[in-house]
Amino acid sequence: MGFSFEVKLFALNSRSEGKGWGEIRRAIKERFNIDPPTVRSMQKWEKETDRRVLNRALKEKAKKETEAIKGQALTTVAEDLLPRLWKARDAGDDIEYEGWRWFLSIVENTLGSEKFKQFLHKYLDEREGKPDLPPVPVIRTQGGS
């Protein structure tokens, strides 16, 4: 079975962080929901694969996928998000919250409710005791209002 660039990169990055092969296999199984590669296969990747080459290939793949979904994303925003924002505004509701609620619902639908909650709790736990992050300023693009 051939493994994706993502799996190979994950294994190599995990190994470079000092993780053991057993731990890496368990993490691959959990993260990618697949039967993990054998230790021998991963050792072979480690000997034969240049992580920079793998990173470059992954970036190219992401670039192609991004281009493919750009139109779909614009359509989704126009047909789903904008009407929600107008409806919230007309009702006197918080439109910023409505926008984030829409975004978070997409993430939850993608991950599933349990994994979404798990990731959200993990993030919040990691943030505990750290200073609050300042809001990111709105960047106006040319032609924007």
Nearest Cα to Cα of residue 107 among 125, 124, 122, 119: 119
List, for residues 44-56, the tens digit of each pLDDT value.
888 877 667 777 7
Task: Give the pLDDT confidence of 103-139 residue by residue, as tens digits.
Answer: 999 899 988 999 999 999 999 999 888 888 888 776 6
User: Are 37 and 28 contacting, i.e. CB atoms less than 8 angstroms apart?
Assistant: yes
Q: What is the pLDDT of residue 63?
A: 85
In this prediction, residue 140 carries a pLDDT of 61
Section 16-21 average pLDDT: 91
Q: What's residue 141's pLDDT? A: 58
- Contact indicator for 102, 81 with CB cutoff of 8 Å: yes
> How far is it, in rounded angstroms, from Cα 71 to Cα 74?
5
Structure confidence at residue 26 as a pLDDT band (50, 70, 90): very high
> HEC string of 30-68?
HHHCCCCCCHHHHHHHHHHCCHHHHHHHHHHHHHHHHHH
19: tokens are 């993780």
Q: Chain centroid to CA 101: how far?
A: 17
Q: What is the pLDDT of residues 60-95, one digit of tens each?
A: 888 888 887 888 888 888 899 999 999 999 999 999
| Paired tokens of 133 | 């992050």
The confidence score (pLDDT) of residue 22 equals 95
Question: Given this model, what pLDDT does residue 145 score?
Answer: 46
Range with the poorest average pLDDT among 10-24, 99-113, 129-143: 129-143
- Report the distance separating Cα 95 and Cα 97, nearest Å: 5
Give, in order, the Cα–Cα distances in Å from 32 to each of 26, 92, 111, 129: 10, 42, 12, 31
